[in-house]
Every structure is written in C-alpha cells, then in structure tokens.
Amino acid sequence: EGAVLDTDDEHIVVGTAGHVDHGKSTLVGSLVTGEPDDGEGGTRSFLDVQPHEMERGLSADLSYGVYGFDDEAGPVRMDNPHRKADRASVVERADRLVSFVDTVGHEPWLRTTIRGLVGQKLDYGLLVVAADDGPTKTTREHLGILLATELPTIVAITKCDMVSDERLSEVEREIERLLRGADRTPLSVARHGVEAAIEEISEQVVPVVATSAVTMEGLPVLDELFHRLPKTEGGAAADRFQMYIDRSYNVKGVGAVASGTIRSGTVSAGDELLLGPMQDGSFRDVEVRSIEMHYHRVDEAQAGRIVGIALKNVREADVERGMVLLPRSADPEPVREFEAEVMVLNHPTRIDEGYEPVVHLETVSEAAAIYPEAGQLLPGDTGNARVRFKFRPYLVEEGQRFVFREGQSKGVGTVVDTRP
Ligand code: GDP
C-alpha cells in the first residue's frame, strides 16, 4: 500500500483487433501468463473476468491483460490474473509494462472499438488473423481503421498449429497482398528477423508474425518485440496533465472514481484539478484523493498510464465519459463546433450537408452533424468540413483524430481549427 513506483519505467499500450474467434484473447492470455492454450480457450478464460469476480479496486478493467519485462531477467508475468495482488506485483517488478486493450467487441466496430482506438493512447496495434480462415471482411475493416489512425501495427497470424505449411504460406501471401493494397510494406519476421522488425516498424512497414497459442510458436518473437519496441509517444510526459475520462464509478468508502489513459503530463495524489465540461460548458474544481494503476496504489502517474483516479468534491453521477481532467491553471475552452479534415472510407455512402453520424473523439462518443465545405463528400474523398455536436460542448483540440460512424465506420477525421 502506498508504494511509489519508479515513474521512469516505461509502459506501452497495445490495442488488439481482428475477426471474432480468430484468437485475440487467447494470444493475449498466453502472452501474459506464459502458458500454452489447450485449444479450447483455456488461457483466454483468464481474461474473461467479470468485474464482480475481481476484487474491487479503483482501476477499472480497461486493459484486459498486462505483463512486463525486467531488463535483465526477461518477461515478468502474473500467476493468476484474477488476483489483484498478482497484477500489482507485475507493475512493481517490471522495468517495462505492456498493457493490452481489447479494441474490438464481439460485433465489428462496437462503440467500445472506436473508443479503444481513439480514446486510449495506443502505442501499437496487434491485428490477429487466424491461419485457417485467413483475412475476412472484418479483418479488412479493422486494418483500415488501424492504418487510418496511423498506428504502427503488427499482424499476428494465429492458429498456425491447425494448418499445413502450404496453407500458412497461402495466408501469408493473402495478408501481404492486403497490406500492399493499403500502400503498406509487409515485413515477414520469419524471413527478416526481429531486429529488422524493430528497426523498420512504422505506420508504413507492418511486421507479420506466425504464431500458435497451443505450441507457443512465435510468442517469444512477440515478447521480444514488446520488450524492445520504442514507446511511440513518450515525450508527452513533459506537457501539462490531461486525461479524457473513459469510465466513472463509485467505490465504497472512496467515492467517485474516474478512469482512463493519461494523455499527457503527470498527476499526483493531492493535485487540485478541473473537471468538465459540464452540459453548460463549465468546469468544476476537484481534488485527487488517490491514484491506482492495475490495482497498485501510486503517488504519481504519467502519460500513457491507464489509471483510476479517486476524486474529492464531486459525486459519481457528475463524472461522465468524454469529460477531461486538467490542472487548475488550465484555461479550457470547450466547443460545440469545430473545423476538421475528414476522409470518407470506402463505403457506399456519400456525405451530404447535415449528415449525422456519431463522432468518437478521445473518449467522447456523441451525435454530431457534419457539413462538408464542398457540399458533399464521396467515398474515398478527403475534404474540410464543419462538425457540430448535437447536444453539448466538449474539449476538442487541434490535431486530435476522430472516427465517425453510423452502424459501421464511415470515416476518420482530424481537428484542424476549434475557433468559431
Ligand atoms: P477472439 O474472439 O479473437 O478473442 O478469439 P479467442 O481467443 O476467443 O479464440 C477462439 C477459439 O480459438 C478458442 O476456442 C481458442 O482456444 C482457439 N484458439 C485461439 N488461438 C489458437 C491457436 O493458436 N491454436 C488453436 N488450435 N486454437 C486456438
């Protein structure tokens, strides 16, 4: 209790995506436990923890798996992910932490999917493709979003134990074709090695690794990648503190807790902060009672960390997803409307004036109307547009990316101007 973590330790956040049943959770389960799967989702069951089965703490289960690396001893894993103490001990022992965020729910592009990609500060994407099925329509859609949000991504072919070498080569070729079609360069880790993958991974170059959670083939390669890949947004710690709230809940005896991923800066217990915007655009004064990270109490946490922050001076009902926490000295100007550059994905929909999708920006998910400057935008088009939230203001900043969807993902955008 109350131990202070070494905040120089690194923490990378990996978002997983891929067709349901292609082996996402199983792969993450085998990575974080170091145990092979029994072919029936045995390791995955470690991750399917319902909140009521887990001892309650401030940290909501935003991330669905965590493990770490000690620079000398190698991987640091938990014996039993159901136990809060095991999670906390991984945090304590590792020089680098790797958190997995499940960006995809059971149906393609649930709200949580988008929130996962845009609202978490992800460092890398991990797209799984099962060797038996190969890439599907969902695989393509998920890849499209990972690439559109410019996230360096690794493709893991899973279930290699289930197919012949011939079938595996065929799937590798299909994936390579898919990547080339999206203007990306595939890099086969089997052929070129881990070193090359670490050096060349970027938004343009996508390493492809063949794995099996049953035989553990390829998992040491992923370990090495996750141990050594550079943190992509490490510099953000110097900026002022900012966190978009993903969830809020009430913890008995503690009160309102806001959880999310710290976007920039550092927060400490006792800090005086602003919370908002409220419906009317105002912010209110709150204070940090305590901070938890993976069930581990910390005195301080910095950019990239997934945390639960217990707040004084506010009721849980007043803390909502999409609000931000900022230092008292900030002078935030929430907006109802902003200018964006939007790109319409290849769906058979054109976007006319007043088109009303749901906009997902950071942790905000809100109905908005879009007014393209050119009057309309066709699939594949990029152009400027005004975006107007229907019901209330949010804190929006230049350079932020968002996804808009209506049933399916329709497009992505970047905020270019927040002035009226
Ligand atoms: P998700 O929906 O993508 O998270 O997929 P799951 O992780 O739930 O996996 C679906 C099923 O595939 C489970 O029954 C797993 O046991 C099985 N599975 C996952 N990975 C492998 C693998 O590498 N080999 C074999 N044989 N089965 C696997």
Q: Output the tens digit of pLDDT for each of the chain's 420 residues.
A: 333 344 445 778 888 888 888 998 889 989 988 989 876 665 555 554 444 333 434 444 445 678 889 988 889 987 776 666 777 777 778 888 888 876 543 333 333 444 444 445 678 899 999 999 999 988 987 887 777 767 899 999 999 999 999 999 999 999 999 999 988 999 999 999 999 999 999 989 999 999 999 999 999 999 999 999 987 653 444 578 999 998 898 988 889 999 988 888 899 999 999 999 999 999 999 999 999 887 788 899 988 788 899 999 999 999 999 999 999 999 999 999 999 988 887 666 788 999 999 998 888 889 999 999 999 998 878 899 999 999 999 999 988 888 888 877 778 888 999 988
From residue 201, alpha-carbon distances to 155, 224, 295 in Å are 11, 14, 32
- State the closest ligand 1 atom to the C-alpha of 37, by its place in the atom list counted from 1: 16
Closest C-alpha residue for ligand 1 atom 27: 39
* Ligand 1 center to 27 CA (angstroms): 8
Give the rounded distance of the alpha carbon of 66 from its chain centre. Answer: 13
* Ligand 1 center to 185 CA (angstroms): 27
Closest CA to 112 of 122, 121, 102: 102
- State the closest ligand 1 atom to the C-alpha of 106, by its place in the atom list counted from 1: 2
* Ligand 1 center to 129 CA (angstroms): 11
Note whether ipTM > 0.90 here.
yes
Question: CB within 6 Å of ligand 1 — which residues?
Answer: 18, 20-26, 37, 39-41, 44, 158-159, 161-162, 212-214
**Residue with tokens 């993903």, as numbered in its chain:** 246
DSSP, res 95: S
Give the span between the Cα atoms of 417 and 251, in whole angstroms. 39
pTM check: above 0.90: no
**Residue with tokens 């592009």, as numbered in its chain:** 109
**Residue with tokens 């065929």, as numbered in its chain:** 170
